[in-house]
Structure 1
Amino acid sequence: MNVLVVQHAWRPARLHIPWHSRDLIAQLRSFRSKSIMASLRWAFKCSSWQPDQSQWLLASSSIQPEEKHRIGQFVFTKDAKSSMAGRLLARKAIHESLKISWTDINLVRTDRGKPYLKNMDDIDKTTYPNFNFNASHHGDFAVLATEPALTCGVDVMKVVRPNQKMEDFFRNMKKQFTPHEWNTIMSAETQYQQLHRFYRYWCLKESYIKALGIGLGFDLQRAEFRLNTLELSTSSVAIDTELYLRDRQDKNWVFQEMLLDEDHYVAVALQLGPDRSSPCCPSFTILTPEQLLSSTHPMHPEDMDYWTSFASKQEAPNLPNRKPLEKD
């Protein structure tokens, strides 16, 4: 398939757009500068973060008490770090984009668990008519996406070898996909490529569900994704995946996909407005621990017992080593 590559001066990432979707180019160019500023795509590599006492105390004192308590309940530091990073990414984005004081940010969750900013009245609605953010974490990364006007959902998935035979794993998971999706997965030449497509599809479905804010109970076969760019990369953003509901294409959604590294897929689901103008399409920026913590402001006193508890925990459960996947 012929592919058109568009280079934006404001962002080094390339957009892969098939010729049959060239109308998206004009839509991309029509967006105002405010969208560029508020459409954030951030990632943080939690597995590389080994917070010392000062970092963990600062982080834990800079989130809301209920979130601090929830994170403190994790058995392993791997999960605590991922959840903490997700919360800090959200607060940092809101603070820096909306210019709301860190201590005034009040994050709550819907009945289905989707976080949102409670004090929306503090937002300039002319610039941010429907400010949306969403975070996710899996594997080594936590990720965040924000939009000034569009509903968004983000998901990240690490490709991991299942703890059972590949044939059994695929047989058990087949029912979660439509026949078209499953054929696309199985058409890959190697099990390594099949597993990559499996996780890419799962990432797409999760991003869509998270944008809808409906959580568990959604029939994954209701939403069918058709891939036009079969192979993603770490240097470009693909926007040509199509959503079909009951065999009819739903053009109200755009999906932005890329790889954070060779094993982590990330997808952003965006519900378009009435004019169906496509959003800007930034690539993900990977933040350092210093950048993650740069805007934090303590909301309550430091808790040494909280650090002692964290420091005494194991990083992750002891699991048997899984045989690495063969690429060929």
Structure 2
Amino acid sequence: MLLDNAPLGRYRIVVNANEWKETDNDEFERAIALVGEEEQERIRKFKFIKDAKTALIGRLILNAMAVKTLGIRNASLKWKRTDKGKPFIDPACVDGISTANHYSNFSYNISHSGHWVVGASELEFPIGIDVNDHGLRPNCKIDFDEFDDVTAEENFEILKSYFSTFKHIFSPPEAKHMESLRFKSGPVRLLEFSRFWTSKESFVKVSGLGFNFDVARLHFDFSEYHQSDIPKMPTSVMAAPIKVSVDGKDVSSEWMFEQFILDRYHIVNVAIRTNPESLSNSSVYSSSSSTPSSSTSAEHILSSGEKVESEIIHASLDSKVYKEKIEHLHPLPLLLLKPADIIKYLEEN
């Protein structure tokens, strides 16, 4: 079976959308029949077929993870959306299903960039995932075959403009680190940028803080986890020894990260919040855009509604559960699947 080799509810799925050729209309129609009518209508509104296929693959990944975890038939699976458009599973569709007891602790997230679509899920632990195509935005045409210590003059100017556009995302130490790489090759600098970008995006997704949160308040430290340490797909993976702080407060012990290089243009980051109870009792996770004082920097965690908007369904914060579960929490490799694999799985389930 498609997901049998992974622990129940714990998945890291990656799909190359280029596996679907624009002429594969029959397969596309089979696939879109596997999602709800509202989702079909949304997907068919895309102007370009490549965007429709990317959106559809994301929903197929969500369906596959939910069907396998909850023991529900794909035909019975119903999704709703929050006011901000974030999908969540309709509780009514799992009522009375004995195998759906994982529903309240099932956390899931998807992301796409370039031709890659990725999804991740966990039981007991909230999770977020992000993929970035660092040759894509903003139409950054870098010569990726230029690996000299000092890049070509044309690349240098493009990179200067690129990093200026996104300088607001960096904490002061991160900005200093990026500046120290200014004479490195374009690929090295862009990969490091993407490490920060995907780390912050996945962190914000799983925390539920919302995208108005000032990500410059987050400081990621990669000093113990260099680019050469990042596993390249497909391979086994170790927990990335990444340190993170918010407003200067180290919260690394409350998080686990996984990073993967998909190809020379794409990197994936997975963030797992390993101690939600600790964060609910005393947290630096205020959604305020201003930096709180030291006496108020650990005041509150988000409402369950905000978590739903972050595609997180997570109800219990039982400390005993987490103490037991965290002992068995370990990083997972990516599952590289083809669209046809997921379509067949959902048709059979």
Q: TM-score range by the shorter chain?
A: 0.7 to 0.9
Task: Find the counterpart in structure 2 of residue 286 from structure 1.
Answer: 336
SS of residue matched to 2:8: helix
For residue 169 of structure 1, report the CA deviation from its aligned partner.
1.9
Percent identity (aligned): 27
Matched, 1:47 2:18: yes
Q: Distance in 1 between matches of 2:101 and 2:71?
A: 14
The answer for the alignment partner of 2:119 in structure 1 is: 144
Summarize the alignment of residues 127-206 of structure 1 with structure 2, pairs less than 5 Å apart.
Answer: 130-160=105-135, 162-163=138-139, 165-188=158-181, 189-206=184-201
Q: Which residue is equivalent to 1:258?
A: 260
| 2:12 counterpart letter in structure 1 | R
- Looking at structure 2, the residues matched to 56 and 293 of structure 1 have their Cα atoms a distance apart, in angstroms, of 9
Q: Taking structure 1 as reference, are residues 243 and 123 closer, same or farther at Cα in structure 2, changes over 3 Å only?
A: farther
Residue type of the alignment partner of 1:64: G
Q: Which amino acid aligns with 1:280?
A: H
Give the residue type in structure 1 aligned to 2:342: L
CA distance in 2, matches of 1:285, 1:35: 9
How many residues end up aligned between the 2 structures? 267
Deviation at 1:125, TM superposition (A): 6.9
User: Following TM superposition, by how much is the alpha carbon of 1:155 offset from its aligned partner in structure 2, in angstroms?
Assistant: 0.7
Instruction: Describe the shift of the 1:110–1:222 C-alpha distance in structure 2 as closer, same or farther (beyond 3 A).
Output: farther
Q: What is the letter of the counterpart of residue 296 of structure 1?
A: L
1:87-119 Cα offsets, whole Å, 9 max, x none, are 001101111222101111112233343322222
Residue 58 of structure 1 aligns with which residue?
Answer: 30
Q: Deviation of residue 289 (structure 1)?
A: 2.5
Bigger RCO (CA 8 Å, 6+ sep): 1
Q: How far does the alpha carbon of each residue in 1:271-297 deviate from its partner, in whole angstroms, 9 at most, with x for none?
A: 114446262211111102221211224
- Which of 45, 52, 55 does residue 73 from structure 1 map onto? 45
Conservation of the 8 A alpha-carbon contact between 1:114 and 1:213: no
Larger strand proportion of the pair: 1
1:246 corresponding residue in structure 2: 247
Q: Identify which range, 264-273 or 156-165, moves more after superposition.
A: 156-165
1:267 counterpart letter in structure 2:
N
Q: Structure 1: how far apart are the matches of 2:335 and 2:162?
A: 33
Letter of the 1:233 counterpart? P
The unaligned stretches of length 5 or more in structure 1 are 1-33, 299-328
* Alpha-carbon distance in structure 2 between the residues aligned to 1:95 and 1:159: 33
Equivalent position SS for 2:129: strand
Note the C-alpha offset of 1:124: 4.6
Judge conservation of contact 1:136–1:155 (CA < 8 Å) in 2: yes
The answer to whether structure 1 residue 38 and structure 2 residue 9 are counterparts is yes
1:113–1:215 contact (8 Å) kept in structure 2: no
Provide the aligned C-alpha RMSD in A.
2.6
Superposition TM-score, scaled by structure 2 size = 0.70
Q: Contact 2:57 / 2:339 at 8 angstroms: preserved in 1?
A: no
* Partner Cα separation in structure 1 for residue 260 and residue 179 of structure 2: 21
Checking the alignment, whether the CA contact within 8 Å between 2:220 and 2:244 is kept in structure 1 is yes
Deviations 1:147-179 (A, max 9, x none): 111111111111206446221221221121101
Which residue number in structure 2 is paired with residue 323 of structure 1? Answer: none
Could you tell me which runs of 5 or more consecutive residues in structure 2 were left unpaired when the two chains were aligned. Answer: 141-157, 276-318
Question: Which TM-score applies when normalising by structure 1?
Answer: 0.74
